[in-house]
């Protein structure tokens, strides 16, 4: 296990303050991440894209985790956690600023470059912050700390799309979206230019805030953590290890993160489009990502209360992965119309929304299991885990391909292998200590 000797006495005394600061960071992660759920349908209209092309938003944002996680680990080894976090915020600020010229010339590829840059900064921050949360206290309470971080993250995820929609969408846009295909090419181009330029002010403000947060982290009381030190037990246990790839439970955990985040982002980033297929307008459907994230927050609250007092975090992981598989099957096979929260839709839409509940404790359950007993390999292990976030980039594209080829509903078959693997890791995969 990860022992608390990795944590200095100063860190132990300042754990609460550190959790508050890291909680602010997770709020920011959520804000810039979950805003993609409204950017995808918005860019699809403003840049005239197919389903597949629109999901390049998620691809460009998250593929940076695969490309940049190992360089982020090297950066953190060189400059430490705090300076690395500051640099990460500065990179994100530069990426948000790229939205200004992208909107002025309505160039989708430049938007994607901005999203990749934001994702690069987040790769640095996530590589630092997730191992930080894991070892900032007793390992058996790691899921509890991750639940607190998750509440911060998902609260921002509720606020961000709604705030962004309030800034860029207008009540007259429903009629505008209907008229766009009927307009002459010149008039349509003018209307689309006006539509896309609404993102300039919000992202300019985001850029300034991110730069300021980088300065705040640099001069905050957040302590650095020495993960290079190992207890005598770990020195002996890891004496024959030369690479993080020699830890099966870590490698399989990174793959579990791949499938978990992929299934989670599919639910959140596709729910607006799926609701639209049932006749719910974009202005009305914009609240569905918030419904999913609210369900996730409920799961986090449950986790804080019951873990580890009433249930071990590994058992919570097993329950959540099994429930995720059951709900995914329900999306595919349920039928019937229902009216909830003023929306009349197929029952499957609400099973999709319900996925937010079991998804809440999967991330929190995987991290402590995957980072167990890594010792001096913790930073590199964290990088490998963050590489798994490229599932956010790849899985929505797979969904988009099947949505274009078959239907939005049948494309949710992609969730089944994701949850089957997560069940495997929760039950057995995390216990494997040597490759056979």
User: In this predicted structure, what is the pLDDT of residue 4?
Assistant: 41
Pick the more confident residue, 118 or 231: 118
> Exposed e or buried b for every residue in 79-117, given b needs 16+ CB within 10 A?
eebbbbbbbbbbbbbbbbbbbbebbeebebebbbbbbbb
Averaged pLDDT, 259-286: 86
Mean pLDDT estimate for the chain: 83
User: Torsions phi, psi of 304, nearest 5?
Assistant: -60, -40
First-residue to last-residue Cα distance in the chain: 22
Asked if residue 257 has pLDDT above 90, the reply is: yes
Return d(Cα 9, Cα 327) in angstroms, integer. 45
Residue 12 makes CB contacts below 8 A (sequence gap 6+) with 4
User: Torsions phi, psi of 343, nearest 5?
Assistant: -110, 125
DSSP state of 315: H
Averaged pLDDT, 212-228: 76
User: In this predicted structure, what is the pLDDT of residue 108?
Assistant: 84
| Cis amide linkage into residue 170, ω under 30° from 0 | no
Asked if residue 224 has pLDDT above 70, the reply is: no
The residue written with tokens 């938007």 in the block is 111
DSSP 4-68: GGGS-HHHHHTHHHHHHHHHHHHHHHHHHHHTHHHHHHHHHHHTT--HHHHTHHHHHHHHHHHHH
Averaged pLDDT, 404-424: 94
Decide: pTM greater than 0.85: no
Return d(Cα 134, Cα 238) in angstroms, integer. 19
Asked if residue 84 has pLDDT above 60, the reply is: yes
Cβ-based burial of 236 (10 A; exposed 0-12, middle 13-18, buried ≥19): exposed
Token pair listed for 169:
């969408």
Pick the more confident residue, 329 or 407: 329
User: In this predicted structure, what is the pLDDT of residue 420?
Assistant: 97
Where do the domains of the chain lie, and which CATH numbers do they carry?
A: 4-221+230-431 (1.20.1250.20)
User: In this predicted structure, what is the pLDDT of residue 212?
Assistant: 92
User: In this predicted structure, what is the pLDDT of residue 5?
Assistant: 43
The 10s digit of each residue's pLDDT in 132-181 is 777 666 777 777 787 888 888 878 877 887 788 788 877 777 778 778 88
Asked if residue 105 has pLDDT above 70, the reply is: yes
Asked if residue 80 has pLDDT above 80, the reply is: no
Which residues are paired to 340 by β-bridges? 343
- Residue 97's pLDDT band (cuts 50, 70, 90): very high
* Dihedral sign from CA coordinates of 173, 176, 180, 183: negative
Q: Are 22 and 129 spatial neighbours (Cβ–Cβ below 8 Å)? A: yes
Q: How many residues does the chain have?
A: 436
Averaged pLDDT, 198-226: 84
User: In this predicted structure, what is the pLDDT of residue 6?
Assistant: 42
Angle of helix 56-97 relative to helix 108-135, nearest 10 degrees, comes to 90
The residue written with tokens 């007092």 in the block is 309
User: In this predicted structure, what is the pLDDT of residue 319?
Assistant: 95
User: In this predicted structure, what is the pLDDT of residue 381?
Assistant: 82
- Residue 315's pLDDT band (cuts 50, 70, 90): very high
Asked if residue 13 has pLDDT above 50, the reply is: no
Return d(Cα 286, Cα 167) in angstroms, integer. 13
The 10s digit of each residue's pLDDT in 18-77 is 778 888 888 888 888 777 767 777 788 888 788 788 878 778 887 887 888 788 878 887
The 10s digit of each residue's pLDDT in 238-254 is 666 677 788 899 999 99
User: In this predicted structure, what is the pLDDT of residue 8?
Assistant: 43
């Amino acid at each position: 296990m990860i022992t608390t000797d990795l944590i200095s006495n100063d860190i132990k005394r300042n754990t609460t303050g550190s959790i508050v600061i890291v909680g602010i960071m997770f709020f920011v992660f959520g804000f810039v991440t979950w805003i993609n759920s409204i950017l995808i349908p918005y860019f699809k209209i403003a840049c005239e894209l197919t389903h597949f092309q629109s999901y390049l938003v998620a691809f460009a944002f998250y593929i940076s985790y695969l490309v940049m996680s190992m360089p982020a680990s090297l950066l953190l080894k060189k400059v430490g956690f705090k300076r690395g976090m500051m640099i990460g915020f500065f990179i994100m600020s530069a990426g948000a600023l790229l939205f200004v010229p992208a909107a002025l010339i309505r160039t989708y590829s430049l938007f994607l470059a901005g999203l990749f840059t934001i994702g690069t900064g987040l790769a640095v921050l996530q590589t630092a912050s997730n191992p930080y949360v894991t070892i900032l206290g007793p390992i058996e309470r790691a899921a509890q700390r991750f639940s607190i971080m998750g509440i911060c993250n998902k609260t921002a995820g509720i606020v961000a799309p709604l705030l962004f929609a309030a800034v860029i969408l207008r009540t007259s846009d429903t009629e505008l979206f209907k008229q766009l295909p009927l307009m002459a090419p010149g008039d349509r181009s003018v209307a689309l230019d006006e539509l896309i330029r609404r993102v300039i002010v919000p992202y300019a403000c985001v850029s300034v805030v991110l730069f300021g947060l980088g300065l705040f982290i640099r001069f905050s009381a957040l302590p650095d953590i020495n993960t290079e030190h190992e207890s005598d037990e770990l020195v002996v246990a890891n004496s024959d290890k030369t690479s993080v790839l020699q830890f099966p439970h870590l490698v399989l955990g990174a793959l579990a993160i791949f499938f978990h985040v992929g299934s989670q982002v599919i639910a959140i980033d596709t729910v607006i489009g799926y609701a639209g297929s049932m006749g719910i307008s974009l202005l009305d459907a914009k609240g569905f990502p918030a419904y999913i994230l609210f369900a996730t927050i409920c799961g986090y609250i449950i986790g804080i209360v019951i873990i580890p007092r009433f249930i071990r975090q590994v058992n919570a992981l097993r329950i959540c992965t099994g429930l995720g598989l059951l709900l995914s099957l329900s999306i595919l096979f349920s039928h019937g119309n229902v009216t909830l929260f003023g929306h009349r839709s197929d029952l499957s839409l609400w099973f999709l929304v319900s996925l937010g509940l079991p998804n809440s404790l999967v991330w929190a359950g995987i991290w402590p299991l995957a980072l167990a007993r890594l010792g001096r390999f913790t930073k590199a292990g964290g990088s490998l885990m963050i590489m798994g976030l490229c599932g956010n980039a790849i899985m929505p594209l797979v969904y988009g391909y099947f949505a274009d080829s078959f239907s939005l509903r049948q494309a949710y078959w992609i969730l089944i292998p994701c949850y089957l693997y997560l069940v495997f890791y929760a039950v057995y995969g995390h216990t494997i200590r040597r490759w056979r």
